[in-house]
Structure 1
Amino acid sequence: MTNFKLCLKLSTAVITCAITTSAFAQEAVPADQPTGGVQEIIVTAQKRSQNLQDVPLAISVVSGAQLESGNVNSAEQLFQKVPTLTFRKGNTNKDSALSIRGVGTISFASGVEPSVSTVIDGVVYARTGQQTSDFLDVDRIEVLRGPQGSLFGKNASAGVISIITREPSETPKGYFDAAYYEGNELRIRASASGPLANGLLGSLTGFFSRYDGNGRNVFNNHEVNGYKHWGVRGKLIAEPSDNVKIALIADFSKGNDNGYADSIGTVFSSAFNNAVFIPSLAPLTLNGKNKDIDNDLDPLTRDKNSGVSAQVDVDLGAATLTSITAYRHWYNYQQRDGDFRSDSPTYVNTGTAAGDVRSHDRGDLKFDQFTQELRIASSNPQFLEYVAGVYYYKTKEVDFFNRTVTSCTASTLPTVNGLTPCTAAASTFVTNEGNADFTTRLTSYSAFGQLTANFSDVFRGVAGLRHTNDKVGYDFARRSTSTAAFAGVNPAFASSGSIKDNGWSGNAGLQFDVNDDIMSYVSYTRGYKGPAINVFFNMLARDTGRIDPETSNAYEAGLKTRLFDRRLTLNLAAFYAKYNNYQANFLDLVAGQVVTRLTNAGTVSTRGVELDFNAQLTDDFSLNGGFNYTDAHINKFICPTGAAVTCADAINGKPLPFAPKYKGTVTADWRLPLEFEAFDINLNSSLVYQSRTQFDINQNPNAFQSAYAIWDAGITLRTKDQKYSVSLIAKNLTDKQFVTQRIPNGTSFMRQITPRDAERYFGVSGRVNF
């Protein structure tokens, strides 16, 4: 409660400071200078167009222009603009995860869905890894915080990231831009848009990006943690009549990533580490800043994403009928070095559980999804406004995974200082491997509706309900060359089965307009996330049981305000949510190596206060950003049956992973009041702060990131007609290093994954509009 009170005090201080600054700036504007308020933001968070300030939900909105000026190019970097959002980067895109308000699903299993739903142009992306490529032609991103069970469904139990791309223009136009940053990072984009025929508009946008990487494999001198991406998106808008609009969208993207690599940050003292592991890693500097690796297998991820969708809107007069039909395909290949060394195995097993082995992983997946949504929404303001519809969702994922392990089992060489070295001529090497093929199918259908009752011009009630039916089925077969478990591989196993379940989700709330510029609301939301199965490489009979549906009860109260002649929008939300049967990953051991298991982890909760603001202090100077206090913690953890790792009551009350308690962002844009006939000069700067973050649900004392702040800045020279511009960009000016994940590997060491923005770098970009 003390922290909660502190947060309220800090929020009050921020509000007072912003109001005071806004008032001062307003008084400083000369009487003959034109004034203007904050531009209105239109969102589709409730599946119809509304002013952001009129929607009784906590929503963060980031414009495409803000993404471009801040060099924010993917979901991985979006946390820099949305305080309540965190991103967990896995070894591959396949294992990435998003969290909102400290809640998200982190799992390697194919039989579970994310808690944060990613929606692009109305199409749900069933896996977080599908949207890890570059943002392309984004108009805005709406981040809906908290469960969104009525209108968005079961994979939105923590929130929604809704990405809306730009519409084709009614007049011919286009652009070409290019950017170059230190580290040989190159970004190129081009777009053309305009009318193609009477009643037909079209746009085509493409991109190419590459980055060498911020680390090096000392084994072969190859760079790591880089990428090469390219893609294209096309959109057609047809209006065959005054009341029918058809939008056809197709996209394709391809990526080759040489990361993220598991670089060794810290090695703890043990017999095996002191005798074998540390000497083996001698080419590396083993500290918290190490970004290099010493692997005989380079990290590699390949991705292909493609999809088509058709949205048809029919204006019926009093209502609009909408159909969205979509198909998407995703292919992913990944490989990684699981022993983290280039010279293993060089010694006979030292007697530790880990031993001295070479472990290499390779795998791929093919993922297909089909979705169909049909809904109707009232068009005109009336006493009872509504949105209702049905939704169908079907996915199929086909996985293959291989782990190959080589060990030295005997040597004729003499033992020196307790170590028996192995060589090809004098030693016996044994190679074992496990291969798993598994297919996971998910089918879901639901019906939903939401009503808004306008009791008066200033008082409204909102109620929504959704019923969802789910079926999850799988086939699994693992083959192994060993009859016993070895170095992270369980023996052969085969199984198949399916589970079914259904559940209700919904919301209810009241909304009251204090005046034309202040709206207040309170709401209750019942969240539901469907059942799951722990289908993964090391699956055993104990994993074939159902993971029960995750349910939540969430409460929220908020204020949305427009102050000082609407020069300042200030939105405040306080929330509390409790999740039962929380679906989470748990670290376990198989023959001495760390693996993960999906489980119903028990009960968790999250509570806090959030603040969003947008201030047009003068016609030339604006501030926007947000602040949040989040207390997301484990109420009662349930240890999975047969776990090899101890999980006692000691973690009850501890923070959820990837849930910093304090986080804030602020961005300033200033058009310099200089009188140049040909061009304008704009300055922009942003600051992101994040408090200490724990990465391990088991609360390993070394698996955390200390508090840090990132400061970016830029300057843009732009012609008065907006045709040409050039920008100088500086990222992470204070050169603050941070990680997005640390993973304890048993008791011996931890791995460190370092993102692109965890170091200072500079760049230049140019743009031509035509």
Structure 2
Amino acid sequence: MNISNSKLNKLGLAVATALSITALPTQAFAAEAADDESEIERITVTSQKRVERLSEIPVAVSVLRSDQIDNTFTAGFEGLQTLVPSVSFRKGTTTRNSAITVRGIGTISFSVAAEPSVSTVVDGVVLGRSGQAFTDLYDLERIEVLRGPQGTLFGKNASAGVVNITTKRPTGETEGMVEATLLQDNEYRLKAKIEGAITDNVNASLVATKSAFDGNIFNVYNNEQVNGYDKEGMRLMVDAEISNKTNMLFIFETMDADDDCCADIEGLPSGRNPASEAAPNSDGIVNGVADLDLDQRRVDHDFESRTIDEHTAFSMQLEHEFGDYTFTSITAYREWENTEFREGDFTSIAGESTEPVFGVPFQLHDIGPQSWDQFSQEFRLTSPVGQPLEWLVGAFFWQKDSERNFTRDASCQNNNGQLASEIGFYLENELGVANPSEQDVADFISQEGITCNANDIVSATAFMRTEFNNWAVFGDGRYHVSEDFRLLFGLRYTDDEVEFMHNRISNDVYGRRGVGVRPASENTNFDGKTTETNTSVKLGAQYDLGDMGMVYATYAQGYKGPGFNVFYNMAEKDTAAIGDEVSDSYELGYKYAMGNLMVNAAIFSTDIEGFQANNFDNSSGVTITRLTNAGDVSTQGFEIDFLWQATDQLSLSGGLASVDAEIDEFFCPDGEACTDRSGLDVPFSPDLKYNLTADYVWEMDDMEVLLNASYIYTDEQFATLPNNNGEFNPAVLLPDYGILNASVALSFNDDAYRVTFIGKNLTDESFFTTYSGDSFRYQVLRDADRHFGVQFRANF
């Protein structure tokens, strides 16, 4: 993707600012650090599975602390990802289809037998699908984003990175908190927490949350707001010191969500109902450029897109000290019920006509409940620090079972005369007519009065089951060659097994074909199984520069397990296993933390083989996407982030990522005719993202005023792979955008009470972050409109 002059100017300004901060003389902060370490120097992370200082770990990791998370005033990860420039979040039509990309690499798939390239970990528990974590985010201690392959410590599905989420552990102080956030358009979030000591050795906390939003899109069909949410949940944590050598942390969590998300709007004319009040203000594709209606906030849907989520999770973490060594056990079980209701024709007049499709609008409505159950067990043994050789070894077991049934009701389809062959199949297989002739078929159609028009609704149901089994052994360590120089190493052996079952049955009495509905002659009864093993390594070196910081260089491998393209309209050609995705990454990093300044920078280059991605398939006459090993891709670039306590009152933080992710070699799917796409951009990988945040504390006699402002910029990006001709559809190019947020908080009585006034997207910048398909469908986030609110918080 070419960067325009204006973008180069923005990039140059951001780089110059970051480099000027990096070049600040260390003497200004050395005196302060000598007397007492600053809060910045004491920032810790657990991204290497032990508590370490952020400034000392040889890994590119971005940390969002509790106060940063709270200051975004967001209910989900789509708001937080703007603070990590190397990360993008694609919101799917349901939480199960939402995905994270890191450095331009991620997997967006509808398949129930495929997994992400970015692993998501919550309190040490690996999740099978990223959407499990992002129903709601509340009461978090921090979010760590590990950028680049993390195969040795985190294993499968970390070929692009890891999002490591840590919730707040209970303290021994008896205290509580209530918080209410009220925003425009009937959006509210309520949270309450109480924690303290149950006994001398047991602390506990209970957090409850409730939130709702009417939505930011108006449905002209029923005069109701959509694209909102209704969520409630709670988390119980018990932290027990069983003995002076043994500690146990138990977590129980439940979350329910009923969201009429994610409504697809017409950002470009669809032609399906141009007279509708929800038709876009757009001229379509003009001279190869999409005239997107970025201000579109209406839909005309007679079937409501909705997702119902029910989460239940248990985990128990035990830590026991054997002398100077620490043994850790994490046992976890999670259940996730996800039901998708999807409007697939995107108009209110579909399926009404007595004329055949595709001359008139067709109906297509989906309902797909799915259940997930996962169990995981991890054991680790960690050596003491301060020894010449510091190491960690462990074993991991993980199992996930998933069941889904998915029903589609759609208009009958006879655009190529399919009805005759389908009725012939019915006569032969259901009525026992041997080799029915064309006349037999015609007579039966006439006798029964069978039609196949838009108002003839047919359906089929697919039953899908998948099972994942994974086990691994791993080790990670560092050897201190000298006081300043360390060698880094890691190794993981992984064994994966994936199996599936797919059974699709026509529900139509005559077995007719519908739009997106396969006829009875194409009923399925598939199953398959695949296994894969992998050995991932990490090698590197780290050198301390004294007061000038630390540098490191690493070579790391990542691995994503095999899978299958198991989806509703799965066909015979989809039954072949999708091979594993492996990555090799080289990284050179620098970290500095002294006094009031922290700077982290990294230059990276990563090659991915067997990249798992969706490809276009037009073989059935209807464009769908098929998950395949699309080819080899690479991503390279540089990142920098900083945190500076400029004065006692003012702190600045920010980050920048310049990423070039492109296709090196493209593999055309079997049976498809397509041109080479090598050298083109990987989807959903903006070349440039940056952010800058300022916090100022104004101390007064009887209160404190806390000011916060942030600016986030995201470059333009392609949302999908190019078409079979190797060309990008102009509709898939999402324009760049920048957002300015601000808040003013009034804190009283040592923060016992706080009132915060919130302003989001103050410049009212309209933008799309997701292209959903069909050359006209897009999704609009809540933050794509200016809105205001207020938050009340009381601590006791």
- Stretches of structure 2 that go unaligned for 5 or more consecutive residues are 283-292, 416-450, 723-727
Q: Does 1:13 align with 2:16?
A: yes
| Partners of 1:488 and 1:592 within 8 A in 2 | no
Match for residue 754 of structure 1?
780
Moved more, 681-690 or 38-47: 38-47
User: Which amino acid letter does the alignment assign opposite residue 196 of structure 2?
Assistant: G
Alpha-carbon offset, residue 514 of structure 1: 1.1
Alpha-carbon offset, residue 282 of structure 1: 4.7
Match for residue 509 of structure 1?
540
Alpha-carbon offset, residue 345 of structure 1: 3.0
SS of the residue corresponding to residue 327 of structure 2 reads strand
Moved more, 591-600 or 469-478: 591-600
Match for residue 573 of structure 2?
542
SS of the residue corresponding to residue 298 of structure 2 reads coil
Give a deviation string over 1:391-446, Cα, whole Å, max 9, x none.
00000000110111124979xxxxxxxxxxxxxx9988422111100100000000
| Partners of 1:488 and 1:589 within 8 A in 2 | no
Match for residue 442 of structure 2?
none
Match for residue 647 of structure 1?
674
Give a deviation string over 1:563-616, Cα, whole Å, max 9, x none.
5xx221111100000000101112334754332211000000100000010000
Q: Does 1:697 align with 2:726?
A: no
Alpha-carbon offset, residue 18 of structure 1: 2.5
Match for residue 400 of structure 2?
395
Rounded Cα–Cα distance in structure 1 between residues aligned with 2:655 and 2:316 = 35
| Partners of 1:661 and 1:691 within 8 A in 2 | yes
User: Which amino acid letter does the alignment assign opposite residue 371 of structure 1?
Assistant: S
2:378 pairs with one of 355, 373, 376: 373
Match for residue 721 of structure 1?
750
Q: Does 1:583 align with 2:612?
A: yes
- Stretches of structure 1 that go unaligned for 5 or more consecutive residues are 411-424
Match for residue 296 of structure 2?
290
Question: How many residues in Structure 1 have an aligned counterpart in Structure 2?
Answer: 735
2:77 pairs with one of 69, 75, 78: 75
| Partners of 1:356 and 1:407 within 8 A in 2 | no
User: Which amino acid letter does the alignment assign opposite residue 344 of structure 1?
Assistant: A
Rounded Cα–Cα distance in structure 2 between residues aligned with 1:23 and 1:350 = 75
SS of the residue corresponding to residue 132 of structure 1 reads coil
Alpha-carbon offset, residue 236 of structure 1: 0.3
SS of the residue corresponding to residue 279 of structure 1 reads coil
TM-score by length of 1: 0.91
Pair 471,616 (structure 1): closer, same or farther in 2 beyond 3 Å: same
TM-score by length of 2: 0.88
Alpha-carbon offset, residue 740 of structure 1: 1.6
Match for residue 448 of structure 2?
none
| Partners of 1:348 and 1:409 within 8 A in 2 | no
User: Which amino acid letter does the alignment assign opposite residue 728 of structure 1?
Assistant: F
| Partners of 1:700 and 1:744 within 8 A in 2 | no
Alpha-carbon offset, residue 284 of structure 1: 3.3
Please state which structure has a larger fraction of its residues in strand. Answer: 1
Match for residue 153 of structure 1?
155
Q: Does 1:557 align with 2:588?
A: yes
User: Which amino acid letter does the alignment assign opposite residue 693 of structure 1?
Assistant: Q
Rounded Cα–Cα distance in structure 2 between residues aligned with 1:361 and 1:722 = 49
Correspondence list, 1:19-34, <5 A? none
Correspondence list, 1:100-249, <5 A? 100-249=102-251
Alpha-carbon offset, residue 656 of structure 1: 1.1
Rounded Cα–Cα distance in structure 2 between residues aligned with 1:529 and 1:688 = 31
Moved more, 132-141 or 195-204: 132-141
Match for residue 368 of structure 2?
363
Pair 185,326 (structure 1): closer, same or farther in 2 beyond 3 Å: same
Rounded Cα–Cα distance in structure 2 between residues aligned with 1:496 and 1:642 = 21
Pair 12,180 (structure 1): closer, same or farther in 2 beyond 3 Å: closer
Pair 662,166 (structure 1): closer, same or farther in 2 beyond 3 Å: same
| Partners of 1:309 and 1:327 within 8 A in 2 | yes
SS of the residue corresponding to residue 156 of structure 1 reads coil
Give a deviation string over 1:528-585, Cα, whole Å, max 9, x none.
111111111111111111101111110000000135xx22111110000000010111
Give a deviation string over 1:332-351, Cα, whole Å, max 9, x none.
11111111111123446677
Rounded Cα–Cα distance in structure 1 between residues aligned with 2:243 and 2:213 = 47
User: Which amino acid letter does the alignment assign opposite residue 633 of structure 1?
Assistant: E
Moved more, 288-297 or 614-623: 288-297
Match for residue 317 of structure 1?
323
Rounded Cα–Cα distance in structure 1 between residues aligned with 2:409 and 2:469 = 34
User: Which amino acid letter does the alignment assign opposite residue 647 of structure 1?
Assistant: C
Match for residue 384 of structure 1?
389
Rounded Cα–Cα distance in structure 2 between residues aligned with 1:349 and 1:383 = 80
Alpha-carbon offset, residue 262 of structure 1: 1.1
Rounded Cα–Cα distance in structure 2 between residues aligned with 1:82 and 1:426 = 52
SS of the residue corresponding to residue 115 of structure 2 reads coil
SS of the residue corresponding to residue 533 of structure 1 reads coil
Q: Does 1:677 align with 2:701?
A: yes
| Partners of 1:11 and 1:611 within 8 A in 2 | no
Rounded Cα–Cα distance in structure 2 between residues aligned with 1:427 and 1:505 = 56
Rounded Cα–Cα distance in structure 2 between residues aligned with 1:222 and 1:260 = 15
Match for residue 609 of structure 1?
638
Match for residue 688 of structure 1?
712
Pair 362,561 (structure 1): closer, same or farther in 2 beyond 3 Å: same
SS of the residue corresponding to residue 593 of structure 1 reads coil
User: Which amino acid letter does the alignment assign opposite residue 613 of structure 1?
Assistant: F
User: Which amino acid letter does the alignment assign opposite residue 64 of structure 2?
Assistant: V
1:304 pairs with one of 305, 310, 324: 310
SS of the residue corresponding to residue 20 of structure 2 reads helix
User: Which amino acid letter does the alignment assign opposite residue 618 of structure 1?
Assistant: T
Rounded Cα–Cα distance in structure 1 between residues aligned with 2:484 and 2:92 = 47
1:570 pairs with one of 579, 599, 616: 599
Rounded Cα–Cα distance in structure 1 between residues aligned with 2:169 and 2:767 = 37
Match for residue 327 of structure 1?
333
Match for residue 417 of structure 1?
none
Alpha-carbon offset, residue 737 of structure 1: 1.0
Rounded Cα–Cα distance in structure 1 between residues aligned with 2:305 and 2:616 = 22
Pair 53,670 (structure 1): closer, same or farther in 2 beyond 3 Å: same
Correspondence list, 1:269-284, <5 A? 273=271, 277-279=272-274, 281-284=276-279
Alpha-carbon offset, residue 750 of structure 1: 1.3
Match for residue 457 of structure 1?
483
Match for residue 422 of structure 2?
none
Give a deviation string over 1:201-233, Cα, whole Å, max 9, x none.
000001000000001111111211000001000
SS of the residue corresponding to residue 153 of structure 2 reads coil
Match for residue 447 of structure 1?
473
SS of the residue corresponding to residue 331 of structure 1 reads strand
User: Which amino acid letter does the alignment assign opposite residue 268 of structure 2?
Assistant: T
Correspondence list, 1:520-531, <5 A? 520-531=551-562
2:690 pairs with one of 651, 659, 664: 664
Provide the aligned C-alpha RMSD in A: 2.7
| Partners of 2:413 and 2:515 within 8 A in 1 | no
Alpha-carbon offset, residue 719 of structure 1: 1.6
| Partners of 2:214 and 2:228 within 8 A in 1 | yes
Rounded Cα–Cα distance in structure 2 between residues aligned with 1:612 and 1:131 = 25
SS of the residue corresponding to residue 66 of structure 1 reads helix
SS of the residue corresponding to residue 68 of structure 1 reads helix
Match for residue 414 of structure 1?
none
| Partners of 2:336 and 2:373 within 8 A in 1 | yes
Pair 197,259 (structure 1): closer, same or farther in 2 beyond 3 Å: same
Match for residue 436 of structure 2?
none
Q: Does 1:768 align with 2:763?
A: no
User: Which amino acid letter does the alignment assign opposite residue 479 of structure 2?
Assistant: A
Rounded Cα–Cα distance in structure 2 between residues aligned with 1:228 and 1:609 = 39
Pair 12,284 (structure 1): closer, same or farther in 2 beyond 3 Å: closer
SS of the residue corresponding to residue 368 of structure 2 reads strand
Rounded Cα–Cα distance in structure 1 between residues aligned with 2:218 and 2:788 = 20
User: Which amino acid letter does the alignment assign opposite residue 695 of structure 1?
Assistant: A
Q: Percent identity?
A: 37
Give a deviation string over 1:637-678, Cα, whole Å, max 9, x none.
1111134xx5311x3211111110000011100012x5x222
1:342 pairs with one of 330, 337, 348: 348
SS of the residue corresponding to residue 641 of structure 1 reads coil
Pair 157,484 (structure 1): closer, same or farther in 2 beyond 3 Å: farther
